[in-house]
A = this chain, B = another copy of it.
């Protein structure tokens, strides 16, 4: 859960998640949505990946990223137990 909370604790990363909710995107497309350098976005993607919130697949010279929501089950359950 530690890496999950860490990954979510950043506005840019949460926006990336929301973008990937709509459709898969490659690193450049994601980067285009922010006024942040590509290496920084790459770093954010890495943190999201380590938290298992996204997956990546190399497609030619591009790297396509997808959202993985299954990991959010844990978070959902944690929150739900607090509310009971």
Contact = CB atoms under 8 A, between A and B. Distances in A.
Interface in A4-45: 5-6, 8-11, 14, 17-18, 21
A58 interface: no
Task: Tell me what chain A mostly uses at the interface: helix, strand, loop, or mixed.
Answer: helix
B17 A82 contact: yes
Contact of A9 (B5, B14, B18, B82): B5
A74 to B, nearest CB: 11
Interface in A26-75: 67, 69, 72, 75
Contacts of A10: 5
Contact of A83 (B1, B69, B80): B69
